[in-house]
Amino acid sequence: MGYCSYSTVKFIKIDDKRLATLHYTFQICIFLYIVVYQIIGNLGYADSAEPIGSLRLSVQPPMKSGDPNKDPNYQFDFPKLNDLDYCAQNKNASATTILPCKYFGEIGSVFPVTGTSPFFLSTRIQESNQTLVCRNPSDGETCRQTFAFDCKPDGKPCQDKSRAEQEKFFLAGIEDFTLMLDHAAQSPTDPSLSGDVSRMKGYLKGCNSDDQRIEPSKTPGGQDYYSISQLLSTVKTKSDNNKEDDVKCGTTLDELSSVYESEDSIRYEGSVIIITIEYSNSKPWSGISKVIDYTYSVTLLHGAKSKVMEGIYTKYPDQRTIQNRHGIVFTVLQQGSLKSFSLITMLTKLTTSLALLAMATTVVDALMSYCLKHKEVYLKMKYSEIQVVENNDGSINYRALDQGGGSL
Protein backbone atom coordinates (compact mmCIF):
# COMPACT_ATOMS: atom_id res chain seq x y z
CA MET A 1 0.00 0.00 0.00
CA GLY A 2 1.24 3.54 -0.81
CA TYR A 3 1.23 6.80 1.04
CA CYS A 4 -2.18 7.70 -0.41
CA SER A 5 -3.97 4.97 1.53
CA TYR A 6 -6.46 5.60 4.36
CA SER A 7 -6.72 3.66 7.62
CA THR A 8 -10.01 3.25 9.47
CA VAL A 9 -11.41 1.18 12.32
CA LYS A 10 -12.77 -2.25 11.55
CA PHE A 11 -15.24 -3.88 13.93
CA ILE A 12 -15.14 -7.64 14.20
CA LYS A 13 -17.39 -9.69 16.47
CA ILE A 14 -15.42 -12.64 17.82
CA ASP A 15 -17.35 -15.41 19.54
CA ASP A 16 -14.71 -16.20 22.19
CA LYS A 17 -15.67 -16.55 25.84
CA ARG A 18 -12.13 -15.87 27.03
CA LEU A 19 -11.95 -12.50 25.28
CA ALA A 20 -15.49 -11.59 26.31
CA THR A 21 -14.77 -12.42 29.96
CA LEU A 22 -11.59 -10.33 29.92
CA HIS A 23 -13.38 -7.40 28.28
CA TYR A 24 -16.29 -7.35 30.72
CA THR A 25 -13.96 -7.79 33.71
CA PHE A 26 -11.86 -4.78 32.68
CA GLN A 27 -14.99 -2.69 32.05
CA ILE A 28 -16.44 -3.54 35.45
CA CYS A 29 -13.16 -2.73 37.20
CA ILE A 30 -12.88 0.63 35.41
CA PHE A 31 -16.53 1.43 36.16
CA LEU A 32 -16.04 0.64 39.85
CA TYR A 33 -12.88 2.77 39.91
CA ILE A 34 -14.79 5.71 38.43
CA VAL A 35 -17.92 5.49 40.57
CA VAL A 36 -16.60 4.11 43.86
CA TYR A 37 -13.13 5.65 44.02
CA GLN A 38 -13.28 8.83 41.96
CA ILE A 39 -16.87 9.94 42.59
CA ILE A 40 -17.67 8.55 46.06
CA GLY A 41 -14.27 8.12 47.69
CA ASN A 42 -12.51 11.20 46.31
CA LEU A 43 -15.67 13.33 46.45
CA GLY A 44 -15.81 13.83 42.69
CA TYR A 45 -19.32 15.27 43.09
CA ALA A 46 -18.12 18.24 45.16
CA ASP A 47 -16.81 21.65 44.17
CA SER A 48 -13.87 23.06 46.20
CA ALA A 49 -13.31 26.68 47.21
CA GLU A 50 -10.54 28.47 49.14
CA PRO A 51 -12.12 29.87 52.34
CA ILE A 52 -12.30 33.54 53.21
CA GLY A 53 -11.98 34.48 56.86
CA SER A 54 -11.32 36.91 59.68
CA LEU A 55 -8.79 36.82 62.51
CA ARG A 56 -8.14 38.44 65.88
CA LEU A 57 -5.12 37.79 68.11
CA SER A 58 -4.26 38.78 71.65
CA VAL A 59 -1.92 37.68 74.44
CA GLN A 60 -2.27 37.43 78.17
CA PRO A 61 0.34 36.93 80.90
CA PRO A 62 0.03 33.84 83.10
CA MET A 63 -2.91 34.40 85.44
CA LYS A 64 -3.43 33.20 88.99
CA SER A 65 -6.91 34.68 89.34
CA GLY A 66 -9.23 37.23 87.80
CA ASP A 67 -9.31 38.95 84.43
CA PRO A 68 -7.09 42.04 84.02
CA ASN A 69 -9.70 43.56 81.71
CA LYS A 70 -12.59 43.13 84.13
CA ASP A 71 -11.40 42.39 87.68
CA PRO A 72 -9.43 45.10 89.55
CA ASN A 73 -8.16 42.43 91.97
CA TYR A 74 -6.64 40.18 89.32
CA GLN A 75 -3.32 38.46 90.04
CA PHE A 76 -0.60 37.44 87.61
CA ASP A 77 1.26 34.16 88.03
CA PHE A 78 4.74 35.18 86.86
CA PRO A 79 7.72 32.97 87.68
CA LYS A 80 10.32 34.33 90.10
CA LEU A 81 13.19 36.12 88.39
CA ASN A 82 15.83 34.26 90.39
CA ASP A 83 14.38 30.97 89.08
CA LEU A 84 14.71 31.88 85.41
CA ASP A 85 17.82 30.56 83.67
CA TYR A 86 18.10 33.56 81.33
CA CYS A 87 17.75 36.28 83.99
CA ALA A 88 20.77 37.99 85.54
CA GLN A 89 18.87 38.02 88.85
CA ASN A 90 19.53 34.27 88.96
CA LYS A 91 23.12 33.84 90.16
CA ASN A 92 23.19 30.33 88.68
CA ALA A 93 21.83 31.34 85.26
CA SER A 94 23.41 29.37 82.39
CA ALA A 95 21.28 30.16 79.33
CA THR A 96 22.75 31.00 75.92
CA THR A 97 22.23 34.72 76.56
CA ILE A 98 21.69 36.28 79.99
CA LEU A 99 20.28 39.75 80.76
CA PRO A 100 18.39 41.41 83.62
CA CYS A 101 14.67 40.66 83.48
CA LYS A 102 11.54 42.74 84.03
CA TYR A 103 7.84 41.97 84.25
CA PHE A 104 5.52 43.31 81.55
CA GLY A 105 1.77 42.90 81.08
CA GLU A 106 -0.04 42.29 77.81
CA ILE A 107 -0.05 45.96 76.77
CA GLY A 108 3.65 46.60 77.36
CA SER A 109 4.76 43.37 75.73
CA VAL A 110 2.88 43.87 72.43
CA PHE A 111 3.78 46.54 69.90
CA PRO A 112 2.03 47.79 67.92
CA VAL A 113 -1.24 46.82 69.61
CA THR A 114 -3.24 45.78 66.56
CA GLY A 115 -4.80 42.38 67.26
CA THR A 116 -4.20 41.31 63.67
CA SER A 117 -1.56 39.33 61.80
CA PRO A 118 1.39 39.89 61.85
CA PHE A 119 1.43 40.15 65.64
CA PHE A 120 4.58 41.20 67.53
CA LEU A 121 5.36 39.91 71.05
CA SER A 122 8.47 41.40 72.65
CA THR A 123 11.11 39.22 74.27
CA ARG A 124 13.93 41.80 74.68
CA ILE A 125 13.92 45.59 74.96
CA GLN A 126 16.80 48.04 74.74
CA GLU A 127 15.90 51.50 76.08
CA SER A 128 17.77 54.73 75.47
CA ASN A 129 16.80 58.30 76.37
CA GLN A 130 17.08 61.15 73.90
CA THR A 131 16.83 64.92 74.16
CA LEU A 132 15.70 67.37 71.49
CA VAL A 133 18.69 69.37 70.24
CA CYS A 134 17.28 71.02 67.12
CA ARG A 135 13.85 71.75 65.70
CA ASN A 136 13.59 75.39 64.65
CA PRO A 137 17.04 76.55 63.57
CA SER A 138 17.78 80.21 62.94
CA ASP A 139 17.65 81.65 59.41
CA GLY A 140 20.15 80.09 57.05
CA GLU A 141 20.83 77.12 59.34
CA THR A 142 19.71 73.51 59.19
CA CYS A 143 19.33 70.71 61.71
CA ARG A 144 22.14 68.20 61.52
CA GLN A 145 20.39 66.10 64.15
CA THR A 146 16.98 66.52 65.78
CA PHE A 147 17.55 64.31 68.84
CA ALA A 148 20.74 63.23 70.61
CA PHE A 149 21.34 60.44 73.10
CA ASP A 150 21.58 61.21 76.81
CA CYS A 151 25.15 60.15 77.48
CA LYS A 152 27.25 59.06 80.42
CA PRO A 153 28.34 60.23 82.91
CA ASP A 154 26.25 63.41 83.28
CA GLY A 155 23.24 62.53 81.11
CA LYS A 156 23.84 65.42 78.72
CA PRO A 157 23.11 65.03 75.00
CA CYS A 158 25.97 63.78 72.85
CA GLN A 159 26.55 62.42 69.37
CA ASP A 160 28.53 59.36 70.50
CA LYS A 161 26.12 56.41 70.61
CA SER A 162 28.69 54.28 72.45
CA ARG A 163 28.38 56.63 75.45
CA ALA A 164 24.58 56.61 75.41
CA GLU A 165 22.77 55.61 78.58
CA GLN A 166 21.09 52.38 77.54
CA GLU A 167 19.25 49.68 79.42
CA LYS A 168 18.88 46.22 77.94
CA PHE A 169 16.63 43.55 79.48
CA PHE A 170 14.47 40.48 78.81
CA LEU A 171 10.73 40.32 79.42
CA ALA A 172 10.25 37.64 82.07
CA GLY A 173 8.07 34.59 81.54
CA ILE A 174 7.14 35.16 77.90
CA GLU A 175 6.87 31.39 77.36
CA ASP A 176 4.02 31.31 79.87
CA PHE A 177 2.03 33.98 78.02
CA THR A 178 -0.96 32.62 76.12
CA LEU A 179 -1.87 33.50 72.55
CA MET A 180 -5.60 33.70 71.85
CA LEU A 181 -6.84 32.94 68.34
CA ASP A 182 -10.32 34.15 67.42
CA HIS A 183 -11.09 33.32 63.79
CA ALA A 184 -13.90 32.57 61.38
CA ALA A 185 -14.13 31.06 57.89
CA GLN A 186 -16.67 30.96 55.08
CA SER A 187 -16.96 29.48 51.61
CA PRO A 188 -17.06 32.24 48.96
CA THR A 189 -19.41 30.14 46.80
CA ASP A 190 -21.74 28.90 49.56
CA PRO A 191 -22.49 31.48 52.32
CA SER A 192 -24.31 28.84 54.36
CA LEU A 193 -21.02 26.99 54.78
CA SER A 194 -19.44 29.14 57.49
CA GLY A 195 -18.47 29.12 61.14
CA ASP A 196 -16.43 30.82 63.84
CA VAL A 197 -13.97 29.24 66.24
CA SER A 198 -16.64 28.75 68.93
CA ARG A 199 -18.74 26.60 66.55
CA MET A 200 -15.93 24.71 64.84
CA LYS A 201 -13.66 21.93 66.06
CA GLY A 202 -9.91 22.05 65.80
CA TYR A 203 -6.57 21.16 67.32
CA LEU A 204 -2.85 21.90 67.13
CA LYS A 205 -0.75 19.39 65.19
CA GLY A 206 2.17 17.96 67.12
CA CYS A 207 5.50 17.23 65.49
CA ASN A 208 6.15 13.73 66.88
CA SER A 209 3.62 12.10 64.54
CA ASP A 210 0.78 12.97 62.18
CA ASP A 211 -1.74 11.70 64.72
CA GLN A 212 -0.47 13.81 67.64
CA ARG A 213 -3.12 16.34 68.64
CA ILE A 214 -2.94 19.13 71.20
CA GLU A 215 -6.43 20.28 72.10
CA PRO A 216 -6.86 24.03 72.66
CA SER A 217 -7.89 25.65 75.91
CA LYS A 218 -11.05 27.73 75.60
CA THR A 219 -11.99 31.19 76.80
CA PRO A 220 -15.53 31.77 78.18
CA GLY A 221 -16.42 33.08 74.71
CA GLY A 222 -15.20 29.91 72.99
CA GLN A 223 -11.94 31.25 71.54
CA ASP A 224 -8.85 29.04 71.41
CA TYR A 225 -5.64 29.78 73.26
CA TYR A 226 -2.26 28.10 73.65
CA SER A 227 0.78 29.03 75.67
CA ILE A 228 3.84 30.19 73.75
CA SER A 229 5.74 27.17 75.07
CA GLN A 230 3.05 24.84 73.66
CA LEU A 231 3.37 26.44 70.22
CA LEU A 232 7.16 26.18 70.34
CA SER A 233 6.95 22.51 71.34
CA THR A 234 5.38 21.63 67.96
CA VAL A 235 8.04 23.33 65.84
CA LYS A 236 10.40 21.23 63.73
CA THR A 237 13.95 22.59 63.61
CA LYS A 238 17.32 21.41 62.40
CA SER A 239 19.08 19.01 64.73
CA ASP A 240 22.37 19.90 66.38
CA ASN A 241 24.40 17.75 63.96
CA ASN A 242 23.51 20.17 61.12
CA LYS A 243 22.57 17.41 58.68
CA GLU A 244 19.99 18.58 56.16
CA ASP A 245 17.57 15.70 56.65
CA ASP A 246 17.82 15.58 60.44
CA VAL A 247 15.20 17.54 62.35
CA LYS A 248 14.24 17.67 65.99
CA CYS A 249 10.88 18.21 67.56
CA GLY A 250 10.28 21.39 69.54
CA THR A 251 12.42 24.36 70.50
CA THR A 252 12.69 27.01 73.23
CA LEU A 253 13.47 30.71 73.26
CA ASP A 254 16.87 29.93 74.78
CA GLU A 255 17.99 27.83 71.82
CA LEU A 256 20.77 29.35 69.75
CA SER A 257 19.32 31.64 67.10
CA SER A 258 19.61 30.55 63.47
CA VAL A 259 20.35 34.14 62.40
CA TYR A 260 23.56 34.25 60.36
CA GLU A 261 26.69 34.39 62.57
CA SER A 262 24.62 35.01 65.71
CA GLU A 263 25.88 33.66 69.03
CA ASP A 264 22.79 34.71 70.96
CA SER A 265 19.48 33.04 71.74
CA ILE A 266 16.14 33.28 69.95
CA ARG A 267 14.94 35.28 72.96
CA TYR A 268 17.66 37.87 72.27
CA GLU A 269 17.44 38.06 68.45
CA GLY A 270 13.73 37.45 67.95
CA SER A 271 12.20 35.25 65.28
CA VAL A 272 9.18 34.69 63.02
CA ILE A 273 6.57 32.03 63.71
CA ILE A 274 4.04 31.13 61.02
CA ILE A 275 0.76 29.62 62.23
CA THR A 276 -1.23 27.97 59.45
CA ILE A 277 -4.95 27.39 59.99
CA GLU A 278 -6.18 24.70 57.60
CA TYR A 279 -9.98 24.52 57.17
CA SER A 280 -11.88 21.51 55.85
CA ASN A 281 -15.41 20.12 55.84
CA SER A 282 -14.76 16.81 54.12
CA LYS A 283 -12.78 13.60 54.31
CA PRO A 284 -12.25 10.90 51.67
CA TRP A 285 -14.92 8.21 51.96
CA SER A 286 -16.76 10.23 54.64
CA GLY A 287 -18.51 12.79 52.44
CA ILE A 288 -19.01 16.50 53.02
CA SER A 289 -20.38 18.20 56.11
CA LYS A 290 -21.89 21.56 57.00
CA VAL A 291 -19.57 21.71 60.02
CA ILE A 292 -16.07 23.09 59.39
CA ASP A 293 -13.03 21.57 61.07
CA TYR A 294 -9.59 23.15 61.30
CA THR A 295 -6.03 22.36 62.32
CA TYR A 296 -3.16 24.57 63.49
CA SER A 297 0.40 23.92 62.39
CA VAL A 298 3.40 25.97 63.54
CA THR A 299 6.58 26.75 61.61
CA LEU A 300 9.63 28.63 62.89
CA LEU A 301 11.16 30.58 60.01
CA HIS A 302 14.82 29.57 59.88
CA GLY A 303 17.35 32.40 59.82
CA ALA A 304 14.81 35.16 60.54
CA LYS A 305 14.89 37.73 63.33
CA SER A 306 12.44 40.49 64.13
CA LYS A 307 12.54 43.87 65.77
CA VAL A 308 10.52 47.09 65.91
CA MET A 309 11.31 50.59 67.19
CA GLU A 310 8.97 52.48 69.53
CA GLY A 311 9.31 56.11 70.56
CA ILE A 312 7.73 57.22 73.85
CA TYR A 313 7.71 60.92 74.67
CA THR A 314 8.39 61.41 78.38
CA LYS A 315 8.24 65.20 78.05
CA TYR A 316 6.86 66.36 74.74
CA PRO A 317 8.55 67.57 72.62
CA ASP A 318 11.92 67.75 74.39
CA GLN A 319 12.54 64.26 75.76
CA ARG A 320 11.71 60.79 74.57
CA THR A 321 12.61 57.16 75.23
CA ILE A 322 13.46 54.90 72.30
CA GLN A 323 12.63 51.23 72.76
CA ASN A 324 14.42 48.87 70.41
CA ARG A 325 12.25 45.76 70.70
CA HIS A 326 13.19 42.26 69.61
CA GLY A 327 10.61 39.51 69.77
CA ILE A 328 8.42 36.94 68.08
CA VAL A 329 6.35 37.89 65.06
CA PHE A 330 3.30 35.65 64.69
CA THR A 331 2.05 35.50 61.12
CA VAL A 332 -1.22 33.59 60.68
CA LEU A 333 -2.24 32.08 57.33
CA GLN A 334 -5.85 30.99 56.78
CA GLN A 335 -6.25 28.44 54.01
CA GLY A 336 -7.85 25.12 53.17
CA SER A 337 -10.61 23.68 51.02
CA LEU A 338 -14.36 23.90 51.65
CA LYS A 339 -16.48 21.55 49.53
CA SER A 340 -20.13 21.67 48.49
CA PHE A 341 -22.22 19.51 46.13
CA SER A 342 -22.05 20.51 42.46
CA LEU A 343 -23.95 18.71 39.70
CA ILE A 344 -21.75 20.29 37.03
CA THR A 345 -18.58 19.11 38.78
CA MET A 346 -19.95 15.57 39.09
CA LEU A 347 -21.00 15.41 35.42
CA THR A 348 -17.63 16.78 34.30
CA LYS A 349 -15.84 14.18 36.41
CA LEU A 350 -18.01 11.38 35.01
CA THR A 351 -17.54 12.52 31.41
CA THR A 352 -13.76 12.69 31.64
CA SER A 353 -13.48 9.47 33.65
CA LEU A 354 -15.71 7.40 31.34
CA ALA A 355 -13.10 7.82 28.62
CA LEU A 356 -11.14 5.25 30.61
CA LEU A 357 -13.64 2.59 29.50
CA ALA A 358 -11.96 2.59 26.10
CA MET A 359 -8.88 1.23 27.87
CA ALA A 360 -10.71 -2.10 28.32
CA THR A 361 -10.95 -2.58 24.55
CA THR A 362 -7.36 -1.47 24.01
CA VAL A 363 -5.99 -3.93 26.60
CA VAL A 364 -8.06 -6.87 25.29
CA ASP A 365 -7.03 -6.10 21.70
CA ALA A 366 -3.38 -6.13 22.73
CA LEU A 367 -3.75 -9.43 24.59
CA MET A 368 -5.66 -10.95 21.67
CA SER A 369 -3.15 -9.83 19.04
CA TYR A 370 0.13 -10.42 20.81
CA CYS A 371 -0.30 -12.72 23.82
CA LEU A 372 -3.03 -15.33 23.46
CA LYS A 373 -2.79 -18.63 21.65
CA HIS A 374 -3.62 -18.34 17.92
CA LYS A 375 -2.71 -14.65 18.04
CA GLU A 376 -1.74 -14.78 14.34
CA VAL A 377 -5.32 -15.69 13.41
CA TYR A 378 -6.77 -12.91 15.54
CA LEU A 379 -4.29 -10.44 14.08
CA LYS A 380 -5.28 -11.34 10.50
CA MET A 381 -8.97 -11.01 11.34
CA LYS A 382 -8.50 -7.60 12.93
CA TYR A 383 -6.20 -6.02 10.36
CA SER A 384 -6.73 -6.30 6.61
CA GLU A 385 -5.69 -4.37 3.51
CA ILE A 386 -8.10 -3.72 0.61
CA GLN A 387 -7.28 -2.25 -2.76
CA VAL A 388 -10.09 -0.33 -4.46
CA VAL A 389 -10.03 0.52 -8.21
CA GLU A 390 -12.62 2.84 -9.75
CA ASN A 391 -13.83 1.90 -13.26
CA ASN A 392 -14.68 4.30 -16.08
CA ASP A 393 -18.41 3.75 -15.57
CA GLY A 394 -18.10 4.79 -11.90
CA SER A 395 -18.25 1.29 -10.47
CA ILE A 396 -15.43 -0.03 -8.34
CA ASN A 397 -13.50 -3.24 -8.05
CA TYR A 398 -11.80 -4.25 -4.84
CA ARG A 399 -9.72 -7.07 -3.59
CA ALA A 400 -8.18 -8.05 -0.29
CA LEU A 401 -4.41 -7.90 -0.37
CA ASP A 402 -4.12 -10.20 2.65
CA GLN A 403 -6.26 -13.29 2.46
CA GLY A 404 -7.40 -14.25 5.91
CA GLY A 405 -9.47 -17.24 6.79
CA GLY A 406 -8.91 -20.78 7.64
CA SER A 407 -9.99 -22.79 10.61
CA LEU A 408 -8.77 -22.92 14.15
The verdict on pTM exceeding 0.85 is no
Sign of CA dihedral 30, 32, 35, 36: negative
Inter-residue contact 207 to 250 (CB < 8 Å) = yes
CB-count exposure of residue 64 (10 Å: 0-12, 13-18, 19+): exposed
Enumerate the domain spans of the chain: 17-45+344-380, 49-341
Per-residue pLDDT of the chain (408 residues; tens, 9 = 90+): 566 777 777 777 888 888 888 889 998 999 899 889 989 998 888 999 999 999 999 999 999 988 887 888 889 999 999 999 999 999 999 999 999 999 999 889 998 888 888 999 999 999 999 999 888 888 878 888 888 889 887 778 887 777 888 899 999 999 999 999 999 999 999 999 999 999 999 999 998 777 789 999 999 999 999 999 999 999 988 766 555 567 788 999 999 998 988 999 999 999 999 999 999 999 888 889 999 999 999 999 988 999 999 999 999 989 999 999 999 999 999 999 999 998 998 998 888 888 888 888 888 888 888 887 777 777 777 777 777 777 777 777 776 666 543 333
Rounded-to-integer distance, Cα 111 and Cα 170, Å:
15
Three-class secondary structure of residue 181 per DSSP:
strand
- The CATH topology of domain 49-341 is atp-gated p2x4 ion channel fold (2.60.490)
Say which residues have a Cβ less than 8 Å from residue 281's Cβ, sequence separation at least 6.
Answer: 193, 288, 289, 290, 291, 292, 293, 338, 339
